[in-house]
Amino acid sequence: MPKLSAIIITLNEAANIEACLASVNWADDVLVVDSGSTDGTADLARANGARVVVRDWPGYAEQKNFAAGAAAHDWILSVDADERVTPELRHEIQERLAAEPAEAGFRMPRVTWHLGRWIRTTDWYPDYQLRLYHRQRAAWTSRPVHESVSATGRIGQLANDLQHFAYRDLQHHFATMDRYTTLAAQDMRAQGRRAGVVDLTIHPWAAFVRNYVLRRGFMDGAAGFVVSTMNAYYVFLKFAKLWAGEPSRSQRPPARS
């Protein structure tokens, strides 16, 4: 059976790191790459049996690729500090690794806890993530908003969920959206995109219908409505920031003579 390394990158994750490490302590090697936490994250990780490397922050993809390269084994399970591997997912991973898999990696569904429940509807689910991979055949690629793994070879799919505790509350949700929509607008602008009336009006409404109706957000009650509305607002906000940042609107007004 191939051995497995679990890797986690951190910065001030004292509130999350112990539960995360407890969910991967069955791996043959557990490595935390910390970016200079000031809340004791690194000490907590060491106390919970992880190897810890402290390294300056170069970016998400770069840090995760460094962690994979510093891991003890070729098969990598990459999790974030706010994620948890369930016992069911653990057993499924161990079954897939019982013999050397032909696949370069495996995607797994990710379910998010928010507003007092698991959200299994809207764009948030199943939210497949490629987190189990062979480091000789896959690596993280950099994107302004969400980094991802690119693999050479066939990708398999797991059935059990990776749990995600993304937001403490709605205030945290709004703050995260503000940061990500700024990055998304910058990325679209760099690709030559421009925003018009259709982007600001039709796209957000279409996002709400997709989330709440087509992807059954209504099945999650008030929480599903809130998440659907927030997802639509995310679309509006990134296009609004793209529109507002165009040169004709971002330049300062001429000085008054």
- CA gap 88, 201 in Å, rounded: 42
CA-to-CA dists, residue 165 to 16, 112, 153, 191, 210, angstroms: 9, 6, 31, 32, 23
Alpha carbon distances (Å) from 79 to 22, 130, 220, 236, 243 = 12, 10, 26, 30, 35
Say how far apart CA 106 and CA 110 lie, in whole Å.
13
Residue 251 is predicted with a pLDDT of 53
Match 């994979």 to its residue by tokens.
68
User: pLDDT tens digits, residue range 154-207?
Assistant: 999 999 999 999 999 999 999 999 999 999 999 999 999 999 999 999 999 999
Could you tell me what percent of the chain has a pLDDT over 70?
Answer: 95
Answering whether pTM is above 0.85, one says yes
Please report which confidence band the pLDDT of residue 143 belongs to, taking 50, 70 and 90 as the band edges: confident
Determine the topology of domain 4-164 in CATH. Spore Coat Polysaccharide Biosynthesis Protein SpsA; Chain A (3.90.550)
CA distance 206 to 80: 31
Q: For 67-112, what is each residue's pLDDT tens digit?
A: 999 999 999 999 999 999 999 999 999 999 999 999 999 999 999 9
Q: CATH 3.90.550.10 spans which residues of the chain?
A: 4-164
Mean pLDDT score of the chain: 94
- The string of pLDDT tens digits covering residues 45-59 is 999 999 999 999 999
